[in-house]
């Protein structure tokens, strides 16, 4: 199964997370919260329509003005930026050249 792809962008004082397959749109106070809510809603949709078959990987693109980041995370664990890039199977890179998240 293809990875779950989530696009997060700032909208006023919140973050909006969207994915196309399954079609999910949620908000959160931080990119991390928005991605976790999107992951949970996507899992609910997969449960409802795909008999519980989930992608193994979540790929998120976070955009916040001049800064953007790509992170990859295991779908079966709660999403967190704290371990991104350091935990086995995770990845993080942002447009400022950082390999670990800060300041989101």
pLDDT by residue for the chain (104 residues), tens digit each? 799 999 999 999 999 999 999 999 999 999 999 999 999 999 999 988 866 678 999 999 999 887 899 999 999 999 988 878 777 778 888 888 776 676 65
Cis peptide before 22 (omega within 30 of 0): yes
Cα-atom radius of gyration of the chain, to the nearest Å? 13
What pLDDT is stored for residue 98 in this prediction? Answer: 72
Q: For the chain, what are the domain ranges?
A: 4-94
Q: What is the pLDDT of residue 103?
A: 61
What per-residue confidence (pLDDT) applies to 61?
Answer: 96
């Amino acid at each position: 199964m293809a990875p779950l792809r989530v696009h997060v962008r700032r909208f006023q004082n919140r973050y909006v997370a969207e994915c196309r397959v399954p079609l999910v749109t949620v908000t959160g106070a931080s990119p991390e919260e928005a991605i976790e809510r999107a992951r949970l809603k996507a899992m609910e949709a997969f449960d409802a329509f795909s008999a519980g078959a989930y992608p193994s990987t979540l790929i998120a693109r976070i955009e916040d003005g001049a800064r953007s980041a790509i992170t990859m995370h295991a779908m079966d664990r709660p999403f967190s930026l704290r371990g991104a890039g350091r935990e086995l199977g995770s990845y993080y890179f942002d447009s400022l050249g950082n390999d670990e998240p800060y300041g989101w």
